[in-house]
Amino acid sequence: MDCVFCKIISGEISSKKVYEDEKILAFHDLDSKAPVHVLVIPKKHIVSVEKLSDCDQGLIGHVFLKIAIIARELGCNGGYRIVNNCGKLGGQTVNHLHFHILGGRAMSWPPG
C-alpha cells in the first residue's frame, strides 16, 4: 500500500519513535510545528476519522489514553494540544489516521 505511515510502521521509512505497542505507534513529526510535535497513529490503516467503524471504538480509546501518557513523558506538563486534521478541507495531507500532540509552547486559538 502506498501509504507513508504504513511504511513507517513497517520500518520501510525510518522515524524517531517515542512509543510503540501492538496497536499504535508514536513518532516525531518530520516538520515540527512546536518544541514537542509527535504523531500518534493506529497500526491499522484507517484513512481518517470519517472512516472509523464501530469496531474501532476500543482502538481510539487506547490512542487517547496513550496520548496523555506520551505527552506527560515528553514534558508537556503545562498542557498541550491534540490535533486531528480530517479530510482535505480539514488540512489532512496523509491519509492514514493520526493525532498530532503539540506542546512545549503556548497555543493560540483559533487555529488557521
22, 43 in Cβ contact below 8 A? yes
Binding site for ligand 5GP (CB under 6 A): 4, 13, 15, 27-31, 39, 85, 91-94
Among 37, 62, 96, 98, the one annotated catalytic: 98
Residues in the chain: 112
C-alpha cell read off for 33: 510545528
The helix (H) or strand (E) run that includes residue 6 is helix 4-10
Q: Which does 45 bind (CB under 5 to 8 A by kind): Zn ion, ligand 5GP, none?
A: Zn ion
The yes-or-no answer on residue 98 being catalytic is yes
* Given 28, 43, 45, 62, the residue binding Zn ion (CB under 5 A): 45
Tell me the catalytic residues. Answer: 98
